[in-house]
């Protein structure tokens, strides 16, 4: 399937240069720069919409490169490589669980302690009890017992005590270029990659809904919706009027913006929306889309990214191609030792994992925070 795509390349090196020129022009016409504190940024001028639909003459690229009709199957993660990797990591994959919501995987988790304790990515987890699929293909029930919102880690307890606990890497010095595997609750790893940056902070970005808002009689009117944003996924449309967030009625655009600003990326907001004569309720997720919001090309080449993908004091950056629902589980070295817990898919070239020392400390802290008897 992938091979078919290689049959031909139409080059569009133009892309964002022209797009950006158009956008830049639009912005240059705005009387004031972007408001830093507003979830939606740009003011109410709608001219930025030209970004999404540039004039025809500024679109298409002409150049064509002929590629082979079949692409090499020699990708770094082909079957032979994955087989070698599987041999190397041994049974370490058995400490992975898949966390399900309505039968679909929403995250992975790492078994971190006896007694059914599993750590995972908090913002991807369902509320209440949920199903987990374990290494032996059994389903067990689990629930979040404690959460660290800063790290986006949640400690889960599942109704099963005999799951094998991960083998933590001790004294392992991670270097750029080292192989890492994202294990699955089955023998074949989900994905492999290499360490890109052994240790770095990721500055927090603002969480946004992904709409541009104008004042309305009650609340705020949607002027535009950013493609790929939580707003779009929730079904918000232009001219919708948001008049309440999480049940709290809001009188002005300012109030709507201020309210949204109180939440974090990954959180879901219940929006009360007036569309013409109808009143609707929809749930939209905040994302820290960062610059992607203004750059549809980047949104596209990034593929799916985690809603919460910034604001970590220290991460391992690796180039494993993950989807958001493959985060939350162990990142292992070639020895099968856990060097970190995947915490976000950030963009086309970056996945982040929280390093082992931070995760272990957090697990202990969260365990102690659980009220006894619960």
Partner 1 sequence: MSQAYLTLRKGVFAYASSNAYSIRCISLFRLYRQSIPGALLFFSLIFLLSSPAHLQGQEQGRRPKSSGATEVQPALAIENSKSNPVVGASSEVRVAKPIISSAGLTTVGLELGLERIAKGAEPQTVEELLALESQQAKVAEKVKQVTVNVQQGNSQGSGVIISEDGYVLTAAHVAGKPNLDATVVMSNGRRYRAKTLGMNRNVDAGLLKITDEPAEGWPHASIGESSRLSEGSWCVAVGHPGGWQEKRGSVVRVGRVLAMLPGTIVTDCSLIGGDSGGPLFDLSGRLIGIHSRIGAEVTENMHVPVDEFTKNFERLVSGEKWGVLPGYEPIIGITGDEQDGRAIVTKVNAGGPAERAGLQVGDVVVRFDGTAISSFRELREAVHGCLPGDHVRIEVSRENKILARTLVIGLKN
Which of residues 161 and 237 has its CB atom nearest to partner 1 in the complex?
237
Least Å distance between CB 300 and partner 1?
A: 4
Rounded CA-CA distance 96/163 in Å is: 9
Query: Binding residue for partner 1 (CB under 8 A) from 213, 221, 286, 294?
Result: 294
Binding positions for partner 1, 8-27, rule CB under 8 A: 8-21, 23-25, 27
Alpha-helical regions (H) of 190-319: 230-234, 253-260, 296-302
Least Å distance between CB 346 and partner 1?
A: 10
Asked if 342 contacts 108 with a C-beta cutoff of 8 angstroms, the reply is yes
Query: Binding residue for partner 1 (CB under 8 A) from 138, 200, 254, 365?
Result: 200
Stretch that binds partner 1, among 63-71, 120-128, 238-246, 266-274 (CB under 8 A): 63-71
Q: Does 188 bind partner 1 (CB under 8 A)?
A: no
Query: Binding residue for partner 1 (CB under 8 A) from 150, 188, 281, 291?
Result: 291
Binding positions for partner 1, 127-156, rule CB under 8 A: none
Rounded CA-CA distance 364/155 in Å is: 10
Binding positions for partner 1, 315-344, rule CB under 8 A: 317, 319, 321, 334
Q: Does 282 bind partner 1 (CB under 8 A)?
A: no
Rounded CA-CA distance 298/341 in Å is: 26
Stretch that binds partner 1, among 98-106, 132-140, 173-181, 262-270 (CB under 8 A): 173-181
Query: Binding residue for partner 1 (CB under 8 A) from 44, 46, 47, 58?
Result: 58
75: tokens are 């990708």
Asked if 132 contacts 138 with a C-beta cutoff of 8 angstroms, the reply is no
Q: Does 60 bind partner 1 (CB under 8 A)?
A: yes
Task: Give the β-pairing of 139-148 and 130-133.
Answer: antiparallel
Query: Binding residue for partner 1 (CB under 8 A) from 31, 62, 104, 374?
Result: 62
Asked if 295 contacts 155 with a C-beta cutoff of 8 angstroms, the reply is no
Which of residues 39 and 116 has its CB atom nearest to partner 1 in the complex?
39
Q: Does 227 bind partner 1 (CB under 8 A)?
A: yes
Least Å distance between CB 128 and partner 1?
A: 25
193: tokens are 């990659």
Binding positions for partner 1, 85-114, rule CB under 8 A: 85, 87-88
Rounded CA-CA distance 100/106 in Å is: 6
Least Å distance between CB 100 and partner 1?
A: 20
Our measurement of the distance from residue 360's CA atom to the centroid of its chain's CA atoms, rounded to an integer in Å, reads 22
152: tokens are 């986006």
Stretch that binds partner 1, among 125-133, 199-207, 215-223, 276-284 (CB under 8 A): 199-207
Least Å distance between CB 278 and partner 1?
A: 23
Rounded CA-CA distance 127/206 in Å is: 24
Query: Binding residue for partner 1 (CB under 8 A) from 139, 176, 251, 370?
Result: 176
Least Å distance between CB 120 and partner 1?
A: 21
Rounded CA-CA distance 259/111 in Å is: 37
Phi first, then psi, for residue 93 (nearest 5°) are -60, -20
Which of residues 51 and 271 has its CB atom nearest to partner 1 in the complex?
51
Rounded CA-CA distance 144/119 in Å is: 9
Query: Binding residue for partner 1 (CB under 8 A) from 31, 72, 368, 374?
Result: 72
Asked if 294 contacts 275 with a C-beta cutoff of 8 angstroms, the reply is no
Query: Binding residue for partner 1 (CB under 8 A) from 103, 177, 247, 371?
Result: 177
Which of residues 123 and 224 has its CB atom nearest to partner 1 in the complex?
224
| Count of CB atoms situated within 10 Å of the CB of 239 | 12
> Residue 196: in which H helix or E strand, if any?
strand 191-202
Asked if 225 contacts 293 with a C-beta cutoff of 8 angstroms, the reply is no
Q: Does 262 bind partner 1 (CB under 8 A)?
A: no
């Amino acid at each position: 399937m992938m091979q078919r795509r290689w049959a031909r390349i139409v080059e569009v090196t133009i892309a964002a240069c022209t797009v950006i020129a158009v956008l830049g022009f639009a912005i240059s016409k705005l009387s004031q720069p972007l408001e830093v504190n507003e979830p939606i940024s740009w003011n109410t001028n709608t001219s930025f919409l030209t970004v999404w639909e540039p004039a025809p003459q500024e679109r298409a690229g002409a150049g064509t490169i002929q590629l082979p009709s079949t692409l090499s199957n020699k990708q770094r993660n082909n079957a032979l490589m994955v087989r070698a990797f599987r041999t190397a990591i041994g049974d370490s994959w058995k400490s992975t669980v898949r966390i399900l919501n309505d039968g679909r995987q929403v995250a992975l988790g790492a078994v971190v302690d006896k007694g059914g304790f599993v750590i995972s990515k908090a913002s991807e987890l369902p509320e209440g009890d949920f199903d987990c699929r374990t290494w032996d293909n059994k389903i067990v029930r689990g629930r979040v017992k404690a959460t660290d919102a800063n790290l986006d880690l949640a400690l889960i307890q599942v109704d099963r005590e005999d799951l094998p606990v991960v083998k933590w890497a001790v004294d392992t010095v991670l270097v750029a270029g080292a192989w890492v595997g994202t294990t699955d609750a089955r023998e074949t790893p989900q994905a492999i990659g290499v360490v890109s940056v052994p240790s770095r902070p990721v500055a927090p970005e603002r969480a946004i809904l992904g709409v541009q808002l104008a004042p309305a009689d009650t609340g705020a009117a949607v002027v535009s919706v950013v493609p790929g944003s939580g707003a779009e996924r929730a079904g918000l449309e232009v001219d919708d009027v948001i008049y309440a967030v999480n049940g709290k009625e809001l009188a002005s655009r300012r109030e709507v913006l201020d309210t949204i600003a109180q939440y974090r990326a990954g959180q879901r907001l219940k929006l009360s929306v007036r569309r013409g004569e109808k009143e609707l309720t929809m749930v939209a997720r905040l994302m820290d889309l960062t610059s992607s919001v203004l750059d549809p090309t980047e949104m596209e080449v990034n593929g799916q990214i985690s809603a919460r993908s910034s604001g970590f004091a220290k991460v391992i950056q690796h180039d494993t191609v993950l989807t958001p629902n493959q985060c939350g589980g162990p990142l292992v070295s070639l020895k099968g030792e856990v060097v970190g817990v995947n915490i976000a898919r950030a963009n086309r070239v970056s996945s982040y994992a929280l390093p082992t020392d931070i995760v272990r400390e957090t697990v202990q802290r969260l365990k102690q925070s659980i009220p006894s008897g619960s």
